Amino acid sequence: MNSKINEIKKLESPPKIIKNIFSKDEIKKFLELYKKLPTTVHNKKQNVIKKRWLHGYDKDLEQIFCDRLKNEIGEFKMDNLKDDDGKDILGLIQESYAPIGLHVDGGFEINNKIYKQSLIPLSSVGSTVIFKNRYYGGSTSFTQDPEELNKKNLSYGQNKRSDIHLKMYGEKKFDEKIHKKYLNHEKIDNLKGLEVELIYEWEVGSMLIFDRTHLHCSSSVIEGKKIGIATFTKK
């Protein structure tokens, strides 16, 4: 667990949605940026294409994004892994054809003072489920799948796998109506003890900001594919 838990908890706050923070023209520029960037990962099992938001592809857009985020969360440092030259990247742009499972983006340096993460939808159909439950042990995908749990030799930037969540949050069965509507890609037993804090219905032009300690996952609501930008910060 992170040695700075008490400091991190002092920074925590409820998730918030900022509507109309980006114009149509700015969203168009984000999509153009996505086309320009080289593909980092094409995970066929997860059915997702990931591209690192590298510096220098659109400096004006970089400044716009950083200024808007700073206006909402105050001073921050990026915590988005590194490029091949060891320089910070601004985030990850993901094109998903299937929902991403239950996880937490607590980072890969266990004692960083992790802060907020943001999500910018670049397509209109989709939703993200944020749970009240929190975890302080680094970037982790939570699963009961024995094959996944046996994965130990992970490459740079890959989440560790764990079922520790099943022992942390009690035995209460997850809400069946929410499971059926938003989370039918997850086994309901894997959501035991979890309570929903917020369901963010994607809206182009808006941005979601939430603490990196929140467990969360994509909903199963996808029409073909969805594209979004995820960024991660620390203090």
Q: What Å distances lie between residue 75 and 97, 112, 155, 206, CA to CA?
A: 34, 15, 30, 21
HEC profile of 184-226:
CCCCHHHHCCCCEEEEEECCCCCEEEEECCEEEEECCCCCCCE
pLDDT of res. 44:
58
**Token output for 88:** 């910070």
Which stretches of the chain score pLDDT less than 70? 1-2, 42-46, 156
Q: Are 88 and 78 in contact (CB under 8 A)?
A: yes
**Token output for 79:** 């915590």
Q: 3-state DSSP call for residue 86?
A: coil
Q: What Å distances lie between residue 235 and 8, 73, 111, 210, 232, CA to CA?
A: 9, 11, 11, 14, 11
| Domain boundaries of the chain, sorted by first residue | 5-234
Please report, as a single letter, which amino acid is at residue 154. Answer: L
- 5-234 fold: Jelly Rolls (2.60.120)
**Token output for 190:** 């894997």
pLDDT of res. 26:
97
What pTM was estimated for this model as a whole? 0.92
pLDDT of res. 193:
97
Task: Compute the half-sphere exposure of residue 51: CA atoms within 13 Å on the CB side of its CA.
Answer: 20
Q: 């996944």: which residue's tokens?
A: 148
pLDDT of res. 224:
85
Cβ count near 198 (within 10 Å): 18
Task: Compute the half-sphere exposure of residue 165: CA atoms within 13 Å on the CB side of its CA.
Answer: 33
